[in-house]
A and B are shown apart, each in its own frame.
Chain A
Amino acid sequence: MFDLIKYKNLFIGISLVLLALAFVSIFTYGFKEGIDFSGGTLWQVRFSGQEVSVPELENYFKTNFGIENLLVTAGSENGVMMIRTNELSENQHQEYVAKLQQDFGQVEELRFESIGPVIGAELKSKAIWAFILVLFGISLYIAFAFRKVSYPVSSWKYGIATLICLFHDAVIPAGLYAWWGSVKGLEIDTNFIVAILTIMGFSVHDTIVVFDRIRENLIVHRGKKLGEIINISINQTFARSINTTLTLVIVLVALYLFGAATLSYFVLLILIGTIIGTYSSIFMASPLLTYLQNK
C-alpha cells in the first residue's frame, strides 16, 4: 500500500512550489486584457484582392484613419489580418470598410467585434464575483454534504480543504496562462474565465470521491488513526480517480487535436486544469485534512 501520509510534506511542497511559480508568473507577466474586458475593437478581415503586409496595413490605418492605438497581426490563413484598436462606432466601421474596399479590392469581413468600456468593466466585476461564488459555493456545499461526519474530522474542515484545492487548481493554470500569454501574445477573455470556473467545477469531483471514501472508512475502520484511514482511502480510490479524469482527458485531447482552432486555448487550459485538479484531489486534499486536524 502506498503511504501517502508519510510523504505528505513532499506532495504539499510540490503544490506550494507550483503555486509560488504561478504567482510569480502572474505578477511578472500579468494578464493582458482582451477587448471583452478593456473595451475596444477586434476586426478580422480577409484580403483576397491584393496582398498586404502587416506594416503596410498598420501604416494604412494610421495615415488614412488617424488611428494610433493599433495592433495588426497576420492570421493563420493567407490574407487574413487581425486588427485590434479602440472602440469604433458603427459609422466609423462602415466608413473604414468602404475605404478598404476601395483601396484593396476584395475585402471580406470575417469578424467584427466592438465593445464599449462600460461593458468591459461590468464583465470584469462579474468575473470576479463568479469566481468567488464558485469557490465558496462548492466549498460550502462540501461542508454541508459532509455535515453528518463530525467525528473525528468536523465537516467544515472538508470544506476548507476543498477551498484550498479549488484555489490551487484555478491559480496554477492561470499562472501558466500568464506566462504563455506573454510568449504567444494571448489575452484573457470570457473564455479564459469560463475555463477557470469549469476547471474548479470539475476538479472537485475527484476530491469528493476521496472524501466520500474517508467518510465511509471512518465508520468501517473505527479506531484507526486519521492518517491510516486516509492512506487506505487513497489507495482504494486511486484507480477511479485516474479513470474518471482519463475519460475527460480523452475528449479534451480529441477536441484539442481535431476541434476548431478558436477553441484550442480554451480546451488546453481545461485539460491542464483537469490534470492539476486530479493531482490536488489525490495528493493534496486529504493531507490537508491531517494538517487541519493536528491544529
Chain B
Amino acid sequence: MKSKNLSLFILVLMLTVLAVFFVYPKAPIGGYISQYMPWKLGLDLVGGSYLVYEVDMSGISSADKDSVINGLRDVIEKRVNLFGVAEPRITTSRAGENYRLNVELAGIKDVKEAINQIGETPFLQFAEVNQVEIPATATTSATQAQEFIPSELNGRYIKGAQLTLSDLGQPLVSIEFNDEGAKLFEELTRKNIGKPLAIFLDNNLISAPRVNEAISGGRAQITGINDAKEAKLLVERFNAGALPAPIKLINQQTVSASLGQDSLQKTIWAGLLGTLAVMLFMVLYYHGLGFFASIALFMYVALTLAIFKVFSVTMSLAGIAGFILSIGMAVDANVLIFERTKEEMKKGLQRATSLDEGFRRAWTSIRDSNLTTILTTIILYNFTSGFVKGFALTLLIGVLVSMFTAITVTRNLLRIFYAKDLVVKK
C-alpha cells in the first residue's frame, strides 16, 4: 500500500516539475521548448481578426453543398497562407439552411489586406458573344451591340495557372483547366469558331479573343492584363483556386495587439494573486491539511497549464478567466473533504480513518457538483462562438483535472506525509 502511494506521488511530482519547465516561458528549458511550441494566444490578446462569411449556395445543388463548402475552406486556407498568417483557423458551421465559414486570423498586422484577399473572388467567367443589330432610330444610325451570354465555364474548373510573357513583352496568364473544364472549353470553342469569346474577370470584360479553331487539351491564355504585378496576383489566386461559391462577410471582430498585451499581464497577475490568496486561506483555516491542499493546487495549476499547451488550447482573455475561476473551484473538493474529516475526528475516529471517511463521504457531493459544472460548460461551449468559447473550454478542462488533483493527489499526499504513522500502524 505504502509503496504504491509513494510511486504515485513520485510520478505526479515528476509530471509537475516537467509541467513547470514546459509552461514557464522564462525557464531555461521552457524557453527552448517555447520556440517549437509557443503558447497559443487568442485573437483578443495578440490582436487579429475573427471573420464570419455567409456562403451563397443558391446556385448549388444540395448534393454538392458539402463538397463546395469544403472546397471553399481549402481555397481560403491557401489564400490566407499566402498572406503569411502562422496558424489560420478556418471552420465551417451551419445555421439552419445557411452555411458559414469562420476565419480566425491571429497576430495578423494588415487585416484590411487579408479581408481583401479572402473576399476577392477571382471570378473568371467565359461568355459567348452575340452580335445584336440595333435598328436605326430617328436620331441614330444602325449600330452593332454585343450581348454576352455567360457560359458554364468559370474559375471553378481551373487546375493551375502560370505567368508568361508574350512576344511583345506583355504579361500573359496561361491557365490550365481540369478534365471537366477542358471538355467545356473544347465545346465552347467549337461552338464559337470565327466568333469572339469574352473573358470576364470579377465581372469586368478583360479580353475577347477570336476563336480560330476548337481547342482541346484544356489550355488557354488570358491577355489584356494591365501589368505584370496584376498578372502575378492573378496567377497566385488561380493557383490557390477560385472560390467555388460567392461569399459575403457578415461578421467581423478585429482587435489590435496593443489592446491585448496589457489585459494579459493584468489578468495573469490577478490569477497569481488569487491563487496565493486561496492557498493562504486554506493554510490558515485548515492548517496542515490546507498546506497539502495548497501543494495539490500548485500541481493543479502546473498540470492544467501544461495540458492547455500540449493540446494547444487557444488562450483568450475569457479562457484565462475561466481557468482562474476553476482555481477557486478546484479547492472546493478539498474543503468538503476536510470539513467531513474534522467531523469524523470529532466523533473520536483516528486521523487516518477520519481522512478516509472524509474522502469517501464527500465524494457524492463532489461528483454531483462537478457533473453539473461539466454539463453547464458543455452547453456554454456550444452556445458561444469566437472569443468566449475559450472560457467554457478552460473551465471544463479545469474541472476534469481538479477531480484528479483535489482528490487523488491530495489523498496521496496526506497518506504519505500527514497520516503516515497511523497508516503504518494499520
Contacts and interface: CB of A to CB of B under 8 A. Distances in A.
Chain A complexes with chain B = yes
Interface of A: 44, 89-90, 93-94, 97, 108-116, 118-119, 122, 126-127, 129-130, 133-134, 137-138, 141-142, 145, 190-191, 193-194, 197-198, 200-202, 204-205, 208-209, 212, 216, 236-237, 239-240, 243-244, 246-255, 257-263, 266-267, 270
Interface string B76-98: 00000000000000000001001
Contact of B273 (A142, A254, A261, A267): A254
Contacts of A113: 252-254
Given A90-B115, A243-B339, 14 more contacts: A108-B258, A110-B255, A126-B383, A197-B380, A201-B376, A208-B372, A237-B339, A247-B328, A247-B329, A251-B325, A255-B321, A259-B266, A259-B324, A263-B317
Contacts of A130: 379-380, 382-383
A119 B380 CA distance: 17
Given A202-B329, A255-B270, A127 B278 contact: no
Contact of A251 (B254, B259, B328): B328
Contact of B383 (A89, A127, A262): A127
17 contacts: A90-B112, A90-B252, A108-B256, A114-B252, A116-B251, A119-B52, A130-B380, A145-B368, A198-B376, A198-B395, A202-B329, A209-B369, A239-B339, A247-B331, A250-B328, A255-B267, A260-B263
A97 to B, nearest CB: 8
Contacts of B259: 44, 110-111
By secondary structure, the A interface counts as helix
B239 interface: no
A251 B317 CA distance: 15
Nearest to A140: B375
Contacts of A118: 54, 98, 250
Interface of B: 52, 54, 95, 98, 112, 115, 119, 249-256, 258-259, 262-264, 266-267, 269-271, 273-275, 277-278, 281-282, 285, 317-318, 321, 324-325, 327-329, 331-332, 335-336, 339, 343, 361, 364-365, 368-369, 371-373, 375-377, 379-380, 382-384, 388, 391-392, 395
A204 B369 contact: yes
Nearest to B263: A260
A251 B274 contact: yes
Contact of A212 (B115, B264, B368, B371): B368
A115 B369 contact: no
B383 A250 contact: no
Contacts of B377: 201
A250 B274 contact: yes
Given A193-B383, A194-B380, A262 B263 contact: yes
Contacts of A216: 361
A208 B376 contact: no
A141 B375 contact: yes
B375 A254 contact: no
Contacts of A134: 375-376, 379
B267 A252 contact: no
A120 to B, nearest CB: 9
A44 B335 CA distance: 44
Contacts, number: 200
B424 to A, nearest CB: 30
Contacts of B98: 118
B56 to A, nearest CB: 13
A257 B395 CA distance: 21
B365 A137 contact: no
A236 B343 contact: yes
A190 B375 contact: no
Contact of A263 (B253, B321, B336): B321
B335 A248 contact: no
Contact of A141 (B270, B332, B371): B371
Contacts of A200: 376
Contacts of A249: 328
A141 B376 CA distance: 12
A247 B274 CA distance: 9
A265 to B, nearest CB: 12
B119 A90 contact: yes
Contacts of B256: 108-111
A112 B256 CA distance: 9
A119 B251 contact: yes
Nearest to A267: B321
A201 B327 contact: no
A141 B378 CA distance: 14
Contacts of A252: 274, 325, 328
A197 B379 CA distance: 9
A134 B376 CA distance: 6
Q: In the complex, which of the residues B255, B273, B364, B376 has the most CB atoms of chain A within 10 Å of its own CB atom? A: B376
Contacts of B324: 251, 254-255, 259
Contacts of A247: 278, 281-282, 328-329, 331-332, 335
Given A244-B336, A252-B328, A115 B321 contact: no
Which 9 pairs between the two chains have the least Cβ-Cβ distance? Answer: A201-B376, A254-B274, A260-B263, A251-B328, A251-B274, A258-B270, A116-B250, A259-B270, A130-B383
